[in-house]
Structure 1
């Protein structure tokens, strides 16, 4: 039973300590109406004792204890939970939420001890009773119950002694027990002490207070930072700490941190958002997927008493409650990020520098929160290539007759800022977003637009900006300005480059550069096509369109040359120059080097 339900051996300790916490809570509840029990009850405490010579581990509590009938019911029948029965009794008595801190409800947790023990002894005495009992079993289908001698049983409460098997002697080391307790049970509302050897003074390792359960006013920034470092394995300071308690149909407490630096595995494709889930302060899962992948950098602890569990308490059922909590937490974190962006823009700028590329994944993957993410998003542009601007800023500065939000996608912001495709946009003062994150190629295709303005790539289709006024000092130009020789050259170049380009045409977007590459009107954006080609979709890349500048000397000189080898070499050299400007290698590096050397030699002569 134990091996089929549990996957980690150390959970036995969590189950025993959880049972001890429940026993103390039961005693507290019954003492409310029984003065004799109230007088007998001491401060709740769990003590763990180790004996390497005898190879035993003992977990003792001073809680309610059990009589013989309860012992048979709780430990003699699988899945018969004493806690569950106690909760039913409270509810029947109109106890309301007095039992909400109780943990065990399925009656199988105790059996995890047989993963590590060859023999188990349970000595117990119910508070207020003179009788004590000893339950023993080797976990092979039977058990024995006998009266216990007064000196062999606790005055009140339960003592569980495990005779550890050979494979589990690691749990005789105090550091190993402390590690498991801090991981799984350090947040329980009961102090825990450990004695590493017989006769050793017990040492308290948990004071029974979870950080997230305390009021925010009682927690210092240093305490938050220390907990953040333990939680995420980080050595920096958190950039943002969010701590709240949600009340309503589902109650839960959340403590969330956004790291101050970028984790090394942030862009690992297998990485997902990992959160620690506690139910009544007992760790249930250290890697539950509560948040969407685009918030995977958030370090999170969630504690709730309303989440349904499966029998092992190691996994959460796929229930509406879990989904509801996850959605609510994601929305709250986005809200807190928005507040930070408004209140402390410089601090948010650092956070965006670290995690903006991941947050933008939400624009593609999470349409329901797209508007909220747009409010957070910051972009470099031709007006602020070193700093960033919001889409709200962009729309506020739209030029007269500008009908779209223009962008250029690539992998190098500096190269994008000097791209030949944006020369005409700059001449007319039209701002272009410089998108240099890999995810940018995807979200711009799935987002319709922003405030009624569609997103449009400057490398896709013709650039018709004729209705947008030029900046002062700039001259108007059009494709009709090209001479007959340049038009004929475009035809000859198309024939020479037909294996590499879809078309060659006179450009209206080039002012200083000789050539540039763009995607056809209905083709994929150049960067998106490259990314898809790198992932096995070679057909996505297609052939680009080569645009030539009819006023550039390289074009006018080549247009006057006689048809032949010179025009063909010049055509390939111009294509290679356009590819290099786009961040791609020449069609044939050796041929490009040969042609360039010949041109230099000719110029020197």
Structure 2
């Protein structure tokens, strides 16, 4: 078959240029990525052979080889794993749109430093391209297990690549890097140096399940004497399963490198969680809580789950059944002793051992977060900032662990700019006469911290939880109460703060209601298309008006959430509350009693409603009309 030449897609060309001109401070990561890719290929072949007895593939000696040729200045990374077909090479290597390239490039440009940028290589699945940091040309030869024809791919990273079908390719994949010329810039990155290759493998890939062997003339270099026979392939990694070793046998650096290998993250994890279960069903688990949230954590296609092994044999890369969705950010390995090697995802979801492991692992992770919260406020603060929003999903979905989740959840309040409190802490500082845990939801702290709904609470010194994550709209209704105190939105229903600092007597409130009754009834009629009722407010001290929902109504944010999910939600009319102490409301009430011409009063009532909508972060139904009315009013006042 003749050699064909193809052009890279635009984004792939941009990525290659970034690699070639090397913005990365640590070029060694290219070898980590290529060895990790080779390890994945071996895992996939082992699993394919277990599931398909008819697969014509040699699995007797699975390994990774590294070969140095100093004269030719090449470094080859070779595996005898699953390999790729001709079409797969074109799809996976020729174009990388499915690897999140656009997002990768955007984050790469936004990375604040080189160290931050280099970690994005593995995170976005473009590790193969890191070879162009150190090579002028990259050649790949591969044959998929079970097929007879192989494929040769080659590129100098200059906008094109070639593809050719070949007859003599061995099973698996070999990547040959034609290294850049040695010069002063490359002295610290001499990848024809045996000690350098050994150092990189030991640092990044020592724990990989498969042997990483140095072959060829460089194997055993430094050990053989003059006249000795050529050295045998030298295994460079220990292949020790860190999860099966006790904590005092493993260094933090080893744990961190395993995490980076599993997650393709360049930063150290925030927390390492180890579990060894013994008894009728034995398994080991080594889990990691990342130090930052992945960019796609809340996307539908987010790859979640733990690596599943059975008796040290890799089974599955992303076993979702081992942890609930609200812990989808956790990475790690679980090695079970009594599961079938030929297990499917469907069987796993029903397996009682898997369900038992999920319950135990979930409790272990939550216990670790609780310890973090008690022992290290800074680390907990990082955890909650990155993962609090997803963890709170469990308050909705996991009733068994709801108390544990509430214990590790914290919230901003009106009693501190940076302070986060638990519901337990909130309850401890509640006045005895306070009947509810008060909260308000919204898009940002700034918008709800300045909301009219908060005014009376702030004046009376009553603490309010400020909830800004979309899930907050849901879990507060599901949880309902805490320690016998109901969770009460200050933007829903009627709020009676009379027993908590309001000095007005019942008689005074009745007199005030009678004084404004005419205005309230008239405004309810005038604004009937938008509101179900206009009434006096006990929550306002500064603003003239605010919008509230009835106690059982959906909030606007929750309505929008349902609509975003494709669910039809009927428009709900809400309630307009007026501040009887505000000069505008007083003036409007007086004018309503004195004037027969209601046209100007109607416009004022509509403006008052629109101002209340704006104050809660909404927008008037007719912005242009609202702006014109405000401008006319301002003009007449001059």
Q: Scaled by the length of structure 2, what TM-score is found?
A: 0.66
Considering only CA atoms, is the larger Rg found in Structure 1 or Structure 2? 1
Alignment partner, residue 33 of structure 2: none
Where 1:601 maps in the other structure, the secondary structure is helix
Name 1:257's counterpart in structure 2: 288
Q: Check the 8 A contact 1:517/1:545 in 2, yes or no.
A: yes
1:193 to 206, 213, 218: 213
User: How far 1:400 sits from its partner (Å)?
Assistant: 2.9
Query: Structure 1 residues 209 and 582 mapped into 2: Cα distance closer, same or farther (>3 Å)?
Result: same
Q: How far did 1:432 drift?
A: 1.0
1:282 positional shift: 1.9
Unaligned runs of 5+ in 2: 1-39, 51-59, 68-77, 82-142, 150-164, 178-202, 220-229
Corresponding residue for 1:219?
250
- Contact 1:116–1:168 at 8 Å: present in 2 too? no
Whether the 8 Å CA contact 1:276–1:286 is kept in 2: the answer is: yes
Aligned to 2:477: 445
Alignment of 1:518 onto 2:552: no
Which residue of structure 1 aligns with residue 615 of structure 2?
581
Q: Distance in 2 between matches of 1:582 and 1:15?
A: 55
**Cα distance in 2 between the residues matched to 1:57 and 1:297:** 30
Q: 2:309 pairs with 268, 278, 282, which one?
A: 278
Tell me the secondary structure at the aligned position of residue 353 of structure 1: helix
Structure 2 residue 585 is matched with structure 1 residue 555: yes
Deviation, structure 1 residue 16: 11
Question: Shift of the alpha carbon at 1:566?
Answer: 0.9
In the TM superposition, residue 315 of structure 1 has moved relative to its aligned partner by 8.1
Q: 1:483 to 1:521 in 2, by over 3 A?
A: closer
TM-score (norm 1): 0.69
Shift of 1:304: 1.6
Alpha-carbon distance, 1:531 to partner:
2.6
The CA deviation at 1:567 is 1.1
Correspondence for 1:330: 362
CA deviation digits over 1:257-312, x for unaligned, max 9? 11111211111133253211111222110011111110011111111222223278
- Report the count of equivalent residues: 464
Cα contact 1:479–1:506 (8 A) shared by 2: no
Q: C-alpha deviations, 1:461-511, integer Å up to 9, x for none?
A: 1101222235xxx77796435375632222221111110111111112111
Structure 2 counterpart SS, 1:560: helix
Answer yes or no: is the 8 Å Cα contact 1:309–1:315 preserved in 2: no
Tell me: CA distance 1:172–1:490, structure 2 relative to 1, closer, same or farther (3 Å): closer
Q: 1:446 to 1:49 in 2, by over 3 A?
A: closer
How much has 1:431 moved relative to structure 2?
A: 1.2
Where structure 1 has 5 or more consecutive residues not aligned to the other structure, the ranges are 1-7, 19-43, 60-112, 120-163, 177-181
Residues 57 and 196 of structure 1, relative CA distance in 2, 3 Å threshold: farther
**Structure 2 CA distance for aligned equivalents of residues 527 and 276 of structure 1:** 37
The answer on whether the counterparts of 1:46 and 1:193 sit within 8 Å (CA) in structure 2 is no
Q: Is the 8 A contact 1:520 1:545 kept in 2?
A: yes
Q: Does 1:565 pair with 2:599? A: yes
Map 1:88-487 onto structure 2 (within 5 A).
115-116=145-146, 118=148, 166=167, 169=170, 171=172, 173=174, 187-188=208-209, 193=213, 195=215, 201-271=232-302, 273-289=304-320, 290-310=322-342, 316=348, 318-470=350-502, 479-482=509-512, 486-487=516-517
C-alpha change, 1:500 and 1:17, in structure 2 (3 Å) is: closer
2:569 aligned to 531, 539, 544, which one?
539
